[in-house]
Amino acid sequence: MGLEEYKGVYIYAQQVDNELSAIAFELIGKAKELAADLNTDVTAVLLGSNVKALADELGEYGADKVIVVDNPALETYRTEPYAQALVSVIEEYKPEILLVGATAIGRDLGPTVSARVATGLTADCTKLEIGDFPLVAVPGKEDEQKHNQLLMTRPAFGGNTIATIACPDNRPQMATVRPGVMQKLPREAGRKAEVIEFNPALEENNRYVEILNVVKAVGNVENIMDAKVLVSGGRGVGSEENFAMLKDLAACFDGGMVSCSRAVVENGWLPADYQVGQTGKTVRPQIYFAVGISGAIQHVAGMEESDLIIAINKDEDAPIFDVADYGLVGDLNKIIPQLTEALKAAKTE
Amino acid sequence: MNIVVCIKQVPDTKGGVKFNPDGTLDRASMLAIMNPDDKAGLEAALRIKDETGAKVTVVTMGLPKADAVLREALAMGADEAVLVTDRVLGGADTWATSSTVAAALRNLDYDIVITGRQAIDGDTAQVGPQIAVHLGLPVISYAEDIKIDGDSVIVKRQYEDRYHEVKAKMPVLITALSELNEPRYMTPGGIFDACDKEVTVWGRADLKDLDDANIGLKGSPTKIAKASDKVPKGAGEKVNLDPAESVNYLMEKFKEKHII
């Protein structure tokens, strides 16, 4: 079949416990831009059990169409029935682009589906745009250059290099995108998407697994990706107890939270939910304090999009200063409490 | 029981990143190590071996020097090692890599295939699930715990805010997180034995059921349009003052930016 038969920008609208994940809206936001360049529309693919009601929300965030596969087998995420359902959607509707969140679900579903439909998949993209491949035509072979291709840019080598990747000869062009990297559009109340109900037969086979238990993390874990201000601590903070100082500083700001580097999680000072970076979360708060964080490239990859970065470190050669807007060389044990006091005083003025 | 663990030799990016004077990455001086998630997968396999006497085979695809990670795996306690290496396999993306590794696995007996979740050089987490597709196996990604239960495995499958306890009948493919365990060290006896053991080397000709259209650079659906070393964001202002002055400096900046 010709590649030109594949049309439209599709996103996988992840839901968990029948609640849409933020990544679904973020992907729609990016998909709208790509669709505008391609003069096509955006379709969200919604898989689950009793999930049809979620289609309205996808419409309000910009989806033009929503394909719903509603099946009791899709109640809780399992690779096999979800992959079967998404492959069926691809085979029936033939999207030219399919974006999936780089979540614990998407990083399992994406590669499984791409391998089944024998196409390429580019992981953890930080930039997506429409362009030519090759970027510059080879002289004498101008007619071999392909236009309107999805160009997918991603970090590799632990964030040390950046590669732009295309998938010129296979469809759909598939990419996963990390949560927090793309921006969702403002919600437009009452905006409607065309809802298409699609019911492919899901066949139970040897690849079905049995879920014995679902164990949710206890307590109400605050999500550092929602923070407006993050006070992030690294190895230099020195101990679990010293994080109290960072919490006090965070409390001076509305929407302030504490986060950390990988070393802190490895030392057991904070749980992994608070980790920023390549193996943690990608954050883009209005203010990011990097306190006692040296600035390993894997950490920087998760926070460099923050609006304002303030680094506090006693080592004036720490690489974190290379990405900081304001760098304070000095003892965090003295600077942090004094800064907290100054902010409190400023509030009462 | 037969367990096959897929491992990869990667440059050590953790703490060992070095740059050339022109700012590009100095790959040559970086140490090559066994990928951490893969090492955890190997450790998980060795623990099953300790309990049940399972046979553990390690497989890698790479340059001839990847022999080093296979020797390390043997010294840790793996029974057999296979190196898949051939010039025509180079430049493979995850589709071509998974197609090739799956072909190698078809030459072996397995009840459980374990891969690391992801390698620290590519960070894609794709090859494990894709091998499962090629072999028609159930896949359980992001394993934090693996137990054997008769003819099945019971695995804790990690998600962002929860885990699923999942049961699957063997044969099955599992991708391991480095949080799974603390890998054992090589023993002196193990190192000694590992030097004597033979590593099986397979080239393209040894891989059956593998289409030339699905290997190497040419068989990769994804193509690199551009690659460059990352240009760091420009540094802002840096001051080295006493603590009270530092705080004043920052408070002034906050006022300028209307943060306070």
**Per the confidence metrics, is the pTM higher than 0.80?**
yes
Mean pLDDT of chain A: 94
Identify all chain B residues contacting A163, using CB atoms and an 8 Å cutoff. 224, 226-228
Which residues, other chains included, contact A55 with Cβ-Cβ below 8 Å and sequence gap of 6+? Answer: A44, A46, A66, A68, A193, A195
Sheet holding A256-260, edge to edge: A256-260, A229-233, A287-291, A308-313, A326-329, B237-239
Contact B243 A331 (CB under 8 A): yes
User: CB of A175 within 8 A of CB of A128?
Assistant: yes
**Is A316's Cβ below 8 Å from some Cβ in B?**
yes
Select the residue of A156, A287, A321 nearest B123 (Cβ to Cβ). Answer: A156
Residue A37 tokens, joined:
């360049």
Mean pLDDT computed over A220-247: 91
- At residue B25, does pLDDT exceed 70? no
Identity at A87, one-letter amino acid code: V
Q: What is the pLDDT of residues A292-323, one digit of tens each?
A: 999 998 899 889 888 899 999 999 999 999 99
**Looking at the complex, does the CB of residue A164 fall below 8 Å from at least one CB of chain B?**
yes
In B92-111, the residues whose Cβ lies within 8 Å of chain A are: 93-95, 98
Asked if B222 reaches chain A (Cβ–Cβ under 8 Å), the answer is yes
pLDDT of A96 strictly over 90:
yes
Answer whether B162 sits within 8 Å of A217, measured CB to CB: yes
Burial class (CB in 10 A: 0-12, 13-18, 19+), B186: middle
d(CA B229, CA A242): 36
Q: Scanning every residue of chain A, which has its alpha carbon at the shortest distance from the alpha carbon of B226?
A: A164
Q: How far is B250 from chain A (nearest CA, A)?
A: 8
Count how many residues are written for chain B. 260
| The pair of three-digit structure tokens given for residue A128, joined into one six-digit string | 């997506």
The token duo for B13 is 């990016």
Cα distance between residue A102 and residue B126, in whole Å = 11
pLDDT for A46-78, tens place per residue?
999 999 999 999 999 999 999 999 999 999 999
Confidence of residue B160 (pLDDT cuts 50, 70, 90): confident
Where do the structural domains in chain B lie, given as residue ranges? 2-214
In this complex, which of A160, A209, A278 lies closest to B17 when CB atoms are compared?
Answer: A160
Q: What sign for the dihedral angle of Cα B85, B88, B94, B100? A: negative
Cis peptide before A134 (omega within 30 of 0): yes
**pLDDT higher than threshold 90 for residue A260:** yes
- Residue-wise pLDDT tens digits, B40-60: 999 999 999 999 999 999 999
3-state secondary structure of A241: coil
Closest CA–CA distance from residue B240 to any residue of chain A (Å): 5
Q: What are the DSSP calls for chain B, one per residue?
A: -EEEEE--EEE--SS---B-TTSSB--TTSPEEE-HHHHHHHHHHHHHHHHH--EEEEEEES-GGGHHHHHHHHHHT-SEEEEE--GGGTT--HHHHHHHHHHHHTTS--SEEEEES--TTT----HHHHHHHHHT--EEEEEEEEEEETTEEEEEEE-SSEEEEEEEESSEEEEE-GGG--PPPPPHHHHHHHHHSPEEEE-GGG--S--GGGSTTTT-S-EEEEEEEPPPPPP-EEE---HHHHHHHHHHHHHHTT--
Q: Chain B: give the shortest CA distance to residue A46, in Å.
A: 19
pLDDT tens per residue, range A266-287 = 999 999 889 999 888 889 898 9
Kindly indicate the confidence band of residue B28, based on its pLDDT and cuts at 50, 70 and 90.
low
**Over 80: is that where the pLDDT of B233 sits?**
no
Determine contact: A220 vs chain B, CB below 8 A: no
Question: Chain B contacts of A115, Cβ < 8 Å?
Answer: 95, 98, 129-130, 133-134
Residue A186 pLDDT class (50, 70, 90 cuts)? very high
What's the rounded Cα separation, in Å, for the pair B169 and B128? 18
Residues of chain B neighbouring A316 (CB-CB closer than 8 A): 238, 240
Whether the CB-CB separation of B37 and B144 falls below 8 Å is answered with no
- B247: nearest CB among A124, A161, A339: A339
What mean pLDDT value characterizes chain B? 91
CATH classification (class only), B2-214? alpha beta
What's the CA gap between B70 and A247, in Å, rounded?
46
Q: In this predicted structure, what is the pLDDT of residue B81?
A: 98
